[in-house]
Structure 1
Amino acid sequence: MNPTLLTVGVALVACALAVAGIQLYASGRAQRAALIDRLTRATGEQDGGTGRRLRPFRGVDRRVRRTALGRALELRISATGLEVTPGEFVVYMAIAVAVLWIAGQSLLSPFFGPICGFVGVWVALGFLNWQRQKRIEKFINQLPELSRILANATQAGLALRMALSLAADEMEAPAGDELEKVAQQLAVGTSIDDALGELAARLPSRELVVLVTTLVLANRAGGTVVSSLRNLTETLEERKETRREVRTQLSQVSMTAYSVPVIGIGSLLLIDNMQPGALDRMTGSGIGQIAVVAAFALYVVGFVVIRRIAKIDV
């Protein structure tokens, strides 16, 4: 065989393989970029110049999500409806703790720095719980309307999956957003039992558990749910009014729970204002530090006890 022809043939084959490799590499990069763009748009990350905003602290967010506490924090944030990632929340909470720590040391005494930092963590987690509870309450108030829409849709002959998608389009937030997540899970093959179970886990309440149980049992049995949903709608309306009356009656007790620690902290600030340096002298000894810690512990216990007394499950 002619060595020249062999060399030319090998070179042509190598060039063809190189061109195919370059095309495959470019196609892979394009698919990866399209996937990143799709995921970025789905999470609402946008950048001012290109119409997409990149989330800050992405490195911190990735590290936080890998931990068990980060995953629990992500689940809690998702139930609040806030557009913030676990990494952003951790960074913002750390900044708030640092500011409160420095403020406590400079305005009160060095002993109060760690206490103010702990209060910052407690307030941040309490804010998440407050937002989550507020979202749950709003969702509970929408349950009668949701049950009515599902009853009308199933009576019209729609399947339960289609009824849930219709309710997601018809209802406002937070019910519309949560049902949209359920519809997206059903679209990718998740069973109705699992999708509704995750919804009940995100927004736990007795009313939602009853509704989810009714839908799951009806889906398994294959029967009609119209009559059950009609009766459930009336029951949810009555429970909605009862919850509103109970909340109104216990509003004064709830305000007492918040006023007790505020009065205590205000007393410390008043004493330090009347006698400058009083807090430094008080926390300069071990007995004074123990007394301050015990006082704050009693305030926390009082707050928790009053909140427990004011919490009535209807």
Structure 2
Amino acid sequence: MLSGISLPAEQRTRLLEAVLVLVGATAVAGFILVPKAGLLAVIGCTALGFVGSVGNVFRGRFDGILLWWAGAFPFGYTVLSFPREHSIVTLDRVVILVAFMGLFLVKPSTFIAVPKTLRRAGLAGLAFIVVAGVTLGKSANGLNAARFLFDGFLLPILLGWCVIARFDVRRRLPTLHTTVCISSIICAAIAAAEIVTRQDLLPDESSVIFFGGSIPRPNGPFETNDTLALVGAVSIFFLLFLRAALGPKLSAGRRMLHSVGLAAAIGMALMPLFRSVAITLLLVLIIDTFWEQRTTRR
């Protein structure tokens, strides 16, 4: 639609960013005022975009599906999980395996060579997976252990391979930044809505909302509140990295989106009320401040 409007490229970009900010603000308001309806609307839009991205994978282009996953992974259990108990099909598994299959649909000459150091690290990881897999028979719950081994060790290796071999990181930096910001805003909005409503808005068979005295400790779209805090902390540093990678020349809309997304990530990290997370972030801030001062003096 925007391509049919005769606007300069810079104004078109600003208009698109303004639309994204407006959509994000509407989503946040929807989560707070009507949490479940707002969540269903976001999930529906995400699912439509995800289906379109899956079609592109079979043409050898999986950048889109990885970007959708980067924004939708907090809602993986809600969007795609079958069966509900002891799920076999999940959003993470489908996206990463489909993207990995996409590598076989393009010419090997278009791949970016994996550095030797990373290749050795990947082989070491695969060796660990093989050794750990051999010992699964001794586990009291072999199926559950296999699930953790597959999700926690094999999928990250496959995802890293896809990103290094085919994902155009530099060209996708603005989109990736927007995706992480919007995802953080939505997660923080869900957590805030859980504090207001004092209930778990996205319950599953094992999730439960805890209270610190009379104050709810939300888990957001995740199973546990420590996952919310950890993802929030990682998002803080990831957004700071993306902000530095984008360079100093940013539009007003991009700067606003970054500020709101960063504030949302901080809220995600702190709303579960973990002292360890707050102390860690404070220590990182102190170390970074002294490091910057030391670098400036040099």
TM score, norm. by length of structure 1: 0.22
Larger RCO, structure (CA 8 Å, separation 6 or more): 2
TM-score (norm 2): 0.23
Higher helix share: 1
* Pair member with larger Rg: 1
